[in-house]
Amino acid sequence: ILNVEQSPQSLHVQEGDSTNFTCSFPSSNFYALHWYRWETAKSPEALFVMTLNGDEKKKGRISATLNTKEGYSYLYIKGSQPEDSATYLCAYNTDKLIFGTGTRLQVFP
């Protein structure tokens, strides 16, 4: 059974703080790793798809790194804002997506 783990489960930060969280996945037979943002009452939205070891992707204040050899990816948010409050999901791509349970981020003004 493929296991995708995310930590921490939840995170509370003050506006302006930078934060990061982790996704761990099987390091063998790697194809791609996805990050999604899921705001309450909205659709999950794709942030990044990462395929190469050492990949770094950036979208505004959000960035992600990938280490396929050790099986982890980090998501960073610089200068968190209340609108960043959401659940961040990673998904390991085999023939289908295997999702982690997510990190729930709350940013307080």
Which residues of this chain interact with another protein, rule CB under 8 A?
4, 31-32, 34, 41-46, 49, 51, 89, 91, 93, 96-102
Least Å from the CB of residue 78 to another protein: 24
Nearer to another protein, 47 or 77 (CB): 47
**Pairing label, strands 103-108, 10-14:** parallel
Q: Of 33 and 107, which has the nearer Cβ to another protein?
A: 33
- DSSP letters of 1-17? ----EEE-SEEEEETT-
Alpha carbon of 88 to those of 1, 48, 69, 106: distances in Å?
A: 22, 11, 23, 11
Smaller CB distance to another protein: residue 13 or 98?
A: 98
